[in-house]
């Protein structure tokens, strides 16, 4: 069905134009792409549009949502699963519909998580640079066999379970913690324990719970203290799950043996843009970059062709359903 809806896409990159542009054109959506992040300054760009399409670091706080409503925008379509950056109460007050892409490709994020685990353990990022400089020394590259180790998965939804399945395939013991245990966990080789047991028994802890008031800083000085010495900590979920200052202290004391991040608490001022000609102003992030046992990627775990196709298809379906007066099931 063709749909005459005007959509303003914020935080747009060439890959959004490619994938979302193609899906929108097929559905007949009238889409305008803006490189600008959505915030109180850029919100006037939404004038004349029925819908706004936003990404993870766009500002969807009450003042922005109020302005969107005043400009006549009816629906905010998130190109993400996470919605911790949206003031849903303010959206409800203003009668704005908010839709998201609850599941696009859990394997994209799970496989990136495992890539971080493997690269950190075997120091691939260090080995790559050394060999290019004809430095073939092995000192500092010592890893461990994953097969005999215990992996703790915090949040056993779609992504957590996909990680559990892969790590179980490596021969790891997989422990899980979730407020709502997943009935498919046994098939993924995952045993549920309470959060304290997971933290104290795991050689690798990987975070896949959403960012909520409850999960905010769930990795903090106290929980780090309860972890095994030399634990590997991985976060591909949301930066706010980790108290960065506490993790830096844990790295300095060697309590944390290695850290892999795809997300960071204050990432909205950093990620998705080329800042290589600027002086980074974030001192905590800059400190993280100095550790030889820290590997950071800039929120790219979702970034596969399969995921971008699925995000575009669901986003367009969400908008088309709204225009037809129907629900997509992806409303928040
Ligand atoms: P999901 O909803 O399928 O699973 C989340 C799980 O966390 C659920 O089982 C839920 O019960 C559990 N949970 C909720 N509160 C909890 C708590 N307090 N303690 C423990 N578990 C709790 O979501 P998903 O698709 O697996 O995605 C997980 C997270 O990954 C998302 O919230 C999102 O923030 C993040 N994500 C990151 C990227 C990336 O590119 N880095 C991409 C997609 C999603």
Distance 88 CA to ligand 1 centre (A): 18
Shortest-distance atom of ligand 1 to CA 262: 41
Which entry of 299, 305, 309, 326 is annotated as an active-site residue?
A: 299
Position 218 confidence tier, pLDDT thresholds 50, 70, 90: very high
| pTM for this predicted structure | 0.91
Per-residue confidence (pLDDT) for residue 41, from 0 to 100: 96
Residue nearest to atom 12 of ligand 1 (CA): 155
3-state secondary structure of 191: strand
Report the alpha-carbon distance of residue 155 to residue 198 in Å, rounded: 11
Distance 155 CA to ligand 1 centre (A): 6
Asked whether 262 lines ligand 1 (CB < 6 A), one says yes
Per-residue confidence (pLDDT) for residue 268, from 0 to 100: 86
Position 3 confidence tier, pLDDT thresholds 50, 70, 90: low
Task: Tell me what the pLDDT averaged over the chain comes to.
Answer: 96
Report the alpha-carbon distance of residue 153 to residue 233 in Å, rounded: 11
Q: How many CB atoms lie within 10 A of CB 240?
A: 21
pLDDT digits (tens, 9 = 90+) for 124-143: 999 999 999 999 999 999 99
179-217 exposure pattern, b = at least 16 Cβ within 10 A, e = fewer: eeebeebeebbbebbeeeebbeebbbbbbbbbbeeebeb
Report the alpha-carbon distance of residue 27 to residue 10 in Å, rounded: 19
Span 155-169, mean pLDDT? 97
Asked whether 178 lines ligand 1 (CB < 6 A), one says yes
Q: Which H helix or E strand runs over 289?
A: none
Which entry of 49, 238, 265, 268 is annotated as an active-site residue?
A: 238
Residue nearest to atom 31 of ligand 1 (CA): 210
Asked whether 109 lines ligand 1 (CB < 6 A), one says yes
Domain architecture of the chain: domains with CATH: 6-104+304-323 (3.40.50.720), 106-296 (3.40.50.720)
329: left (phi over 0), alpha (psi -120 to 50) or beta: left
| 82 has pLDDT over 90 | no
Per-residue confidence (pLDDT) for residue 157, from 0 to 100: 95
- 112 part of the active site: no
């Amino acid at each position: 069905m063709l749909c005459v809806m005007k959509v303003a896409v914020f935080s747009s990159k060439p890959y959004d134009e490619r994938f979302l542009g193609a899906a929108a054109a097929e559905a007949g959506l009238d889409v305008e792409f803006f490189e600008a992040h959505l915030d109180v300054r850029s919100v006037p760009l939404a004038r004349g549009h029925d819908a706004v399409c936003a990404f993870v670091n766009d500002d969807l706080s009450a003042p922005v949502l109020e302005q969107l409503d005043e400009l006549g925008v009816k629906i905010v379509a998130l190109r993400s699963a996470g919605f911790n950056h949206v003031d849903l109460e303010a959206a409800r007050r203003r009668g704005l519909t908010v839709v998201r892409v609850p599941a696009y490709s859990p394997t994209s994020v799970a496989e990136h998580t495992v890539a971080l685990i493997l690269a950190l353990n075997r120091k691939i990022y260090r080995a790559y640079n050394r060999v290019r400089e004809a430095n073939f020394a092995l000192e500092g590259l010592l890893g461990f066999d994953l097969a005999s180790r215990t992996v703790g998965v915090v949040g056993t939804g779609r992504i957590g379970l996909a990680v559990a399945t892969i790590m179980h395939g490596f021969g790891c013991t997989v422990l899980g913690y979730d407020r709502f245990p997943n009935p498919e966990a046994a098939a993924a080789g995952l045993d549920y324990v309470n959060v304290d047991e997971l933290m104290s028994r795991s050689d690798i802890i990987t975070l896949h719970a959403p960012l909520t008031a409850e999960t905010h800083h769930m990795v903090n000085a106290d929980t780090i203290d309860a972890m095994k010495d030399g634990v590997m900590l991985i976060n591909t979920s949301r930066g706010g799950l980790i108290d960065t200052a506490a993790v830096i202290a844990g790295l300095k004391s060697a309590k944390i043996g290695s850290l892999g991040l795809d997300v960071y608490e204050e990432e909205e001022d950093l990620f998705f843009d080329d800042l290589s000609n600027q002086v980074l102003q974030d001192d905590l992030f800059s400190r993280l970059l100095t550790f030889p046992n820290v590997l950071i990627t800039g929120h790219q775990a979702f970034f596969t062709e399969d995921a971008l196709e699925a995000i575009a298809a669901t986003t367009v379906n969400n908008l088309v359903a709204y225009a037809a007066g129907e629900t997509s099931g992806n409303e928040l």
